[in-house]
Every structure is written in C-alpha cells, then in structure tokens.
Amino acid sequence: MKFVLRDAPPRIVHRLQVAGMHPLLARLLAARGVNNPAEMEPELSALLPPSLLKGTEQAARILADAIVRGDALCIVADYDCDGATACAVGLRGLRMMGARASYVVPNRFTTGYGLSPAVADLVAQRPEGRPDWIVTVDNGIASVDGVARARQLGMRVLVTDHHLPGPQLPEAEAIVNPNQPGCPFPSKNLAGVGVMFYVLLALRAELRARGAFTTAAQPRLDSLLDLVALGTVADVVRLDANNRLLVAQGLKRMRAGRMQPGLRALLSVAGRDANYVSAFDMGFAVGPRINAAGRLADMTLGIECLLTDDAEQALHLAQTLDAINRERRGIESTMREQAQEALVRLQQQGDATDRAAISLFSADWHEGVVGIVAGRLKEIHHRPTFVFAPGTDGYLRGSGRSIAGFHLRDALDLISKREPGLLLRFGGHAAASGCTIPIDGFTRFAAAFEGVAQEWLSPELLACKLEVDGELPPEWFVPEIAQLLQSQVWGQGFTAPIFASRIEVLQQGQLGSNHLKARVRVLDGSPGSSMIRDLVAWNRTDFLPAQAHVAWRLDSNAWKGRTQVRMVLEAVEDIG
C-alpha cells in the first residue's frame, strides 16, 4: 500500500474559505472537485428534473391511469438494501397517491434475483389474486423471460431499475433506467431507490396536472427522503452531485427527527445517535442490518421494518434484523479466514504468483455472504475478486467486487462470449456483479476471469494506492471537527477524509476478538513535538510495527457522558 496525497488547488481553497467555510473543510472539498460552497448546501429545487429521465413521463401516465381505474399493482423488489428501500419508497409513495399496491420480494435461495419466470408465476398465484401490474424496483432490465412470462399470464409490467442493460431489453410497457440506451439523464449513478423516487415525482406531477389535488395539498414525497438516502448510500453508488443532494436532504430530515419508525429503531439497535446520524452510519450500521435479512433469511423482514408506522413493531423487527446480522458476521468471519488460508496455500504452491484476479470456491460456504467476503479480499489484496458458493438449485452462485479501472460486468460479458454456456446468468455494475455457473464450471471461470484481468489491468492499476488528505493539524483533533466532518455527505466517488501520520506505537492489544486498539505517539516532524492518541483498527488482529506511516479517519466516541476523539486505522503504508 502506497499513500498518494490529494491535490487541493490553493485558489479554490482560498475561494471556499473566503465564502466562510472552515479552512480544513475548504481543503478537503477542494481536493474533491468542489468549486463553490453552494454545491455543499443544495436545496431540493436543484434536483435534476424527472423529465430528463427517459420513461418517467410514460410511467407516470401508466400509473395515473392505473390509479384512476383502481388497478392492483404489485412491486417486485430486490433482496438487498437498495431493493428494500426502493420497495418501501414505492409502496409508501403509491399509497399516498391512492394506489392499490402490494409487494413480493424474490428469495435469494429459491427464486433467485429479479423478475424471473418463476417470480412471475409466484406473483400471479398469490392468495389475494393476480395483480393487473407488476412494477419492478432495482431489477427488471435483464428480465426478458420474466416480463414475457408475466405478459403471458395477463399482467403488464413497468420496469424501474438502474443496472446495466444487456443486448436485449424486456418488452415492458415502460422502462425507467438512467443506463438504458438513449437516456439523457446526467446522473447515471442513480440507485434503484432513486429511480423509484423519480417515478413518484413524475406521477405526482401527472396527477396534479389532472386535478387530483392542488399543489398545497399534494402528497409530501420529501417524507421518503430518509429511505432514499439509506438505499443510495448502502448500494455504494457514486455520490455525484445529484446523489449527494438526495442523501444530504435525507440526512437533514433524520437529524431533525423526521424519519420512518423502522429507521429510527435500526439506528437504536446499532447504538447510533439519530441526532447526529451520518452517511457512514447508513452504510456501516443500518444498511448491513437490512442486507442481512436478504443474505440469510427473508428480505420481507427488512421491508416490513421500513414500512411499519408502529414504533413497537419497528423495534421488534429491528432487533430481529440485528440478531440476523450478528449471525451473518460470524459466518463471514469464518469464510474470510478460510478464504485467506486458501490464498496462502495457492501462493505456497506457486499458483497465485503474479495473479491479476482472485477466484475462490468452497462447498462449505454460504451463498448469501460471498459478496461481503469478495469485498474484504478485494480490499486486502487489491485485485478483482469473485467468491463462489453452492446454491440450493445445484448451481454455483458467485459474487464479485472490483478495483478502479476494471469494469466487472463488462468482464463477465466478455467471458460469456469466450466461454459459451459457462455463465448461465450474470449482471451488475462496474464495481460489483454476480453470476451463476454450472456446478463443475469454477475452474473454467477462474481461468477466464484471470485471462481478462491479465489483458485489462496494467501494473499501475494493480498497484495498491490510497489517496490521503495529508496531516491533520493537532488543534483540529477535537470533537467539534469530528462532528463537522461527520455532518458532511461522504461516500463512493466522494470519499470521507483520510489523514496520514507517522506514529510510534506505545502499547497495543486486542479489542474484542477481531479488532485492535493502541496508544500511539503521533510524530509531526517538529523537533521535540509529539501527541499521544488512541487508535482503533477494525477487523485487524495483526499488531502494528513499532513505528509506521498510517492512514486514518477522525472519529468521535461517546463514553460515560464524555465525547472523545480517536484515530480509526485505514491502512499502513509499505516501507521501501
């Protein structure tokens, strides 16, 4: 790991400071391409208009007509946090506008992802009767066969999705997806929940134009922004200006106490203060608890937690999700250790030398956790990584995570052309994708994946680098600055501040079973100057060297009524 200092143009830093921004924040934001303070205080009026998102106006007309006729709508969701929040936003928003709406969420272990023919059959056979419409959220763009089956069964389909389309689009009545061909929407990074929110904005405008309600009495869709923020952060989509606006507005509502009961309950069981909730809390505390339901159990638990207006029921569901998440962490820890041991064995055999990608499989692994393990391995080894486990249907399910410069879904597309019949299903994004392969297909996949990685990845892209924001002046190592930074919207493509310091380790020991704590002296290079600080390293048990150059985040920790600041280790720079 090598640290690379971010460049903060002095002219931009000065401009931001003159506008009244704190000097540290001015430096950090200038280094991330912010030129004007107004970019960090966006109002909802600055949101990109729904008219730019191809298909929204057509979808709005369809839904408005369906509401007038009293048609039954059924949302088909996805089993991750983006899909769960998109489902909750869709249901709450449609019901606000008078729709008869219900939902079905596919099961990871039985029906698989998205609107498949099996899910279309499931929707049509529900006890409450076959709906007139299926509305997909966070899926559907690749559901060619599923949409065809739904139509055959007498249901019409409206697709809302954000995943990359394949060579053939489904024959839906309308498709809303910023990544579909011919869509001019500037923010291609909109999450599935964001797409559904835009459809609701267009629907409200359509109903208002038809005289269904006045502007003053229209449904308050901004009440859904807490869920939009959660799904956007949890899906790790790039936080471009439009996504940052959505997240910032959602966090603003949450900090003011305006949030769904389920979200409040999830923050409570996670031990997070709702008054100071951050994007970090959404991504690392709330999101994993929602995702755990889809990984190990049934995402219906997560969706119901986000849908209920009963605080007591919300707390009960949140506690259940918390227990499932603890189970998930135990499974993940075991799988991660086994994966690391497998990599060591490959290296000892000489099979992992100069590899550009990692592919691993074990018959003992859990298919619901392979994506998390792939992400951990990618972070440690800085290689595109795919981890496979057996599925309940007799196939292998794989989930991958990638590094900058290697488009994972495009790699899968190339493999599908080079190895016909190997990828039974695949889809996803540049950074995260999944696939299904035959039970005996792992060796073929690993070789093909490695071949593409060798072709596409240069030594420079394979070099593990971390952008840092330099040293933090000692006078800013205080709770007020930690709070200032935590109040900002950070995430994918707009990364949270990471500082770099040279340290001397005074003492260190284990924190729990998987973490490290240390007391360190920070050396700033000035003769005789030093600062003693606390440092924690999550998911690390290896002791630090006596002296090191470390990258870290500033964190505040409340203990016995006092707020203290500490360093949270991100990485240790290689010497030499």
CA distances from 321 to 88, 103, 192, 271, 473 (A): 16, 20, 22, 14, 40
**pLDDT attached to residue 209:** 96
Q: What is the pLDDT of residue 197?
A: 98
The CATH number of 48-214 is which of 3.30.1540.10, 3.90.1640.30, 3.30.70.600, 1.10.150.120?
A: 3.90.1640.30
Q: State both tokens at 536.
A: 């924690």
Distance CA 547, CA 502 (A): 7
What band does 348 get if pLDDT is binned at 50, 70 and 90?
Answer: confident
pLDDT at 306: 98
CB within 8 A of 119, min separation 6: which ones?
76, 104, 106, 111, 146
For tokens 């949409």, the residue is 147
Buried b vs exposed e over 505-517: b needs ≥16 C-beta within 10 Å?
A: beebeeeeeeebb
Higher pLDDT, 487 or 567: 567
Residue 145 has which token pair?
Answer: 């066969």
Q: For residue 478, what is the enclosing H or E element? A: none
User: What is the model's pLDDT at position 166?
Assistant: 87
Domains 48-214 and 466-572 are alike in CATH topology? no
Arithmetic mean of pLDDT, 179-208: 97
- Interval 160-174: pLDDT, tens: 999 989 899 999 999
User: With 0-12 CB in 10 A as exposed, 13-18 as middle and 19+ as buried, what is 555?
Assistant: middle
Are 93 and 200 spatial neighbours (Cβ–Cβ below 8 Å)? yes
Domain covering 354-462: architecture: Roll (3.10)
pLDDT at residue 501, as a whole number: 95
Position 530 scores a pLDDT of: 67
> Which residues neighbour 61 within 8 Å (Cβ) at sequence distance 6 or greater?
206
The average pLDDT across 286-295 equals 95
Q: Look at residues 565, 122, 488 and name the one whose alpha carbon lies nearest to residue 280.
A: 488
Q: Is the pLDDT of residue 213 over 60?
A: yes
The correct answer on CATH 2.40.50.460 for the domain covering 466-572 is yes
What are 44-94's pLDDT values in tens digits?
Answer: 999 999 999 999 999 999 999 999 999 999 999 999 999 999 999 999 999
**Separation in Å, CA 380 to CA 291, 343, 407, 537:** 22, 12, 19, 14
Listed residue (44, 62, 389, 109) closest to 244, CA to CA: 44
- Check whether 576 has a pLDDT greater than 70: no
The whole-number average pLDDT for the span 409-417 is 96
Boundaries of every domain in the chain: 48-214, 354-462, 466-572
Confidence of residue 350 (pLDDT cuts 50, 70, 90): low
Q: Which of 50-54, 105-109, 116-120, 254-258 has the lowest mean pLDDT?
A: 105-109
Each residue of 2-31: b (16+ CB within 10 Å) or e?
A: ebeebebeeebbebbbeeebbebbbbbbbb
Q: How confident is the model at residue 527 (pLDDT cuts 50, 70, 90)?
A: low
Give me the pLDDT at residue 541, please: 86
| Higher-confidence position of 529 and 44 | 44
pLDDT in tens, 312-330: 999 999 999 999 999 999 9
Count of all residues that appear for the chain in the document: 576
Average pLDDT over the chain reads 93
Q: What is the pLDDT of residues 431-477, one digit of tens each?
A: 899 999 999 999 999 999 999 999 999 999 999 899 999 999 999 99
Which pLDDT score is estimated for 419?
97
pLDDT of residue 16: 96
Please report, in angstroms and rounded to a whole number, the separation of the first and last CA atoms in the chain: 11
